[in-house]
A and B are shown apart, each in its own frame.
Chain A
Amino acid sequence: MLLKVENLQAKIDEKQILKGLNLEVKAGEVHAIMGPNGAGKSTLASVLAGRDDYEVTAGTVDFDGEDLLELAPDERARKGLFLAFQYPVEIPGVSNKLFMQTALNGVRAEQGLPPLDMFDFDEYAKDKIELLDMRADLLERSVNVGFSGGEKKRNDIFQMALLAPKLCILDETDSGLDIDALGLVANGINTLRSPDRGFIVVTHYQRLLNYIKPDHVHVLYNGQIIKSGGFELVHELEEFGYDGIVQKHEQAQ
């Protein structure tokens, strides 16, 4: 098991957001998480990545045999947990190259690999730049500064491709992408799919999922996963919305 979340509860500023969430992701699987605004999807992603604004009040998370909640956020990242942000952040004056070379060498050190120098890094980054059709001057530019919304998202997927993590969490990476960019991002994800890598894809739309065909689909509502299924669940949601599922869930309570 790559990721095992059990009864996860978390709050922020005294507001309980996650209310006993369970989720299991095996290596090689792609999980989609859908759910209405404010359900707690980004919260789940943030808690898994270790953002300290959130307080975990109960539950456990096992990541590849380790107690994830015991690890600092940068350790989690170096051990292979990656989050593509709903809103990627700008860092003025810091080049993508310096940023990603530092990041990659951190991951490599964790794996006992020697660091890549500037030239090796350029070489290594070249394919990934093409894969996501990033602009040629990408590495020289400051991290996300002056990037359009879509470019920022693509840059996150580019970073994901560079770091080759074990678990990729994508928080609404498809929002705000035009059709071509969506294709590039989906292609990037599909290229990275492998038997020893897992994905959690948070999205509101069927579009991306049509491209990447998730193995499992979950509905997150009010801090819990209230329904799980296969790809057919996506169609059900597209057709009937969350109402039916939510009502059934509330009646069952």
Chain B
Amino acid sequence: MADSAQITELNSAGTQYQEIDSLLSKNKNYKEGFFTTTTVETFAKGLDEATVRAISAKKNEPEWMLNFRLKAFNHWLTMEEPHWAKLLYVPLDYQEYSYYSAPECSACDGSADSAENEIDPEVAKAFAELGVPLTGDDSNVAVDAIFDSISVSTTKREDLLELGIIFCSFSEAVHDYPELVQKYMGTVVPYHDNFFAALNSAVASDGTFVYIPENVRCPLDLSTYFRINEAKTGQFERTIVVADKGSYVSYLEGCSAPARDTYQLHAAVVEVVVLEDAEVKYSTVQNWYPGDDDCQGGILNFVTKRGICEGKNSKLSWTQAETGSAITWKYPSCILKGDNSIGEFYSVALTNRRQQADTGTKMIHIGKNTSSTIIAKGLSAGRSENTYRGLVKILPSADGARNFTQCDSMLIGNQCGAHTFPYIEVENATAQVEHEATTSRIGDDQLFYCKQRGISEQDAISMIVNGFCKDVLSELPLEFAQEAEELLSLSLEGSVG
């Protein structure tokens, strides 16, 4: 018995928003848009079995990893690019991208221990400019920095290892912790899950591997910063986070790319495994380059993120602030298998100009008394299209399952669209599912009220927008929340002070 609660389609119309519109159409200065010149090794464009083998060879991978890639690649060949989302894009030519690019001096020998000591100075400069601490001095956060296809530095590794915490790049994990990687890779997102997950499984570049042992509370936020630099390359990050029984970790993820005039591809897979009594908080601030005024050249962001609450009383919380990319296709999901497990999804998605976002979550309730909360805030401005797509599925086994969903959309300007597709499938009569949705606009009344108190229009817009997103932003770790707030204002204000 599937039904979809109030599918709403709303397109703002009218001309009373011209003033806001002109404000928004000012050229946004994407401050992360710089480009790093350094000696790189980049594969020639194109994708075939030889490419997959070459990537694997470049990373000195063991046989099992190569086999995983090949299996995925062969399956991918049989699949079709999905176009069911409310996203308009011309089918991609996968032969037009390069599938491996790395700064040379850290790529020279496949092991990354050396990389930590000899980061390419130009790459180090790039991360410094982005405010990503590579030296490990910043005591509150450990960072894995990924530049195109490889991880260039992972800080605090040794300190964490003393607690038994594994925090390293995915490539290193393949070498150093093969049993763990084999145990978990592909268990939450199988290689055949969807088109982009299959592609990722075949050509996975780098990502982060996190393992928190039993009863350890990770004392630092762990974070990964993804940077796409080379033109026309794809980044295919593969991240695995495993929280063993009774453990806790807060993991953060940030990203950016230079301003380019051709689309760049980003197809990531993230798998999270949460065992009994453990908790994972996964936060993302996504600021991929959105492209020029027409979103030409922006990042195409096709991401499969999924976690399983495997054990009793486990908890997984996804928080995302999505402001970048030309196209976003992303549904961080929770499989609530353990009894009493909890899934949360807090999302702010802002689209401006011609950006398109189709994002949401899936909450799959399997265990008894599982509960999930979804709070999604969509902000559309310019000529963008912003879609919330969510699924709440209560399986017959999930006695006493509960879900609360709130989807709020805000329209800014007169040519954007907001859409909500909340699918609900309930197969257990004891379930309680609540859904609330609102659509509002930054009204002239609100703006005039602010201005009449002496607040400038730009300050007023950013104040109103941040107010609208407050429930979600407050879920982000403090530094991240601030960054997200600034990004929201920046993406809307169209200028950097």
A residues contacting B by CB (< 8 A) are 49-53, 72-74, 77-78, 82-83, 85, 88-94, 98-100, 102-103, 106-107, 110, 142, 159, 163
Contact = CB atoms under 8 A, between A and B. Distances in A.
Question: Nearest 6 A-B pairs (CB), nearest first?
Answer: A93-B467, A94-B467, A77-B454, A93-B470, A103-B453, A106-B454
Interface string B471-489: 1000000000000000000
A73 B464 CA distance: 18
B364 to A, nearest CB: 30
A49 B452 contact: yes
A8 to B, nearest CB: 19
30 contacts: A49-B448, A51-B448, A72-B451, A73-B452, A74-B450, A74-B451, A74-B454, A74-B455, A74-B457, A85-B452, A89-B443, A89-B446, A89-B448, A91-B449, A91-B463, A92-B467, A92-B468, A93-B466, A93-B468, A93-B470, A94-B466, A99-B450, A99-B453, A99-B455, A100-B453, A102-B459, A103-B453, A103-B454, A106-B455, A110-B454
Contacts of B467: 91-94, 142
Given A89-B446, A99-B463, A102-B463, A163 B454 contact: yes
A250 B449 CA distance: 37
A120 B453 CA distance: 19
Contacts of A85: 449, 452
B469 A93 contact: yes
Contacts, number: 75
B456 interface: yes
Q: Which among A72, A102, A106 has the highest number of chain B CB atoms within 10 Å?
A: A102
Interface extent on B, as a size class? 20 to 34
Contacts of B449: 85, 88-89, 91
Given A94-B467, A142-B467, 7 more contacts: A49-B448, A52-B19, A73-B448, A73-B452, A77-B452, A91-B449, A99-B453
Contact of A77 (B19, B446, B453, B471): B453
Given A53-B444, A89-B446, A91-B446, A73 B451 contact: yes
Contacts of A102: 455, 459, 463
Contacts of A110: 454
Contacts of A50: 451-452
B137 interface: no
B159 interface: no
B455 A103 contact: yes
Contacts of A89: 443, 445-446, 448-449
Contacts of B451: 50, 72-74, 77
Given A74-B455, A103-B454, A107-B454, A94 B463 contact: yes
Q: Which among B445, B455, B456, B468 has the highest number of chain A CB atoms within 10 Å?
A: B455
Given A93-B468, A159-B453, A98 B448 contact: no
Q: Which among A83, A91, A163 has the highest number of chain B CB atoms within 10 Å?
A: A91
Nearest to A169: B452
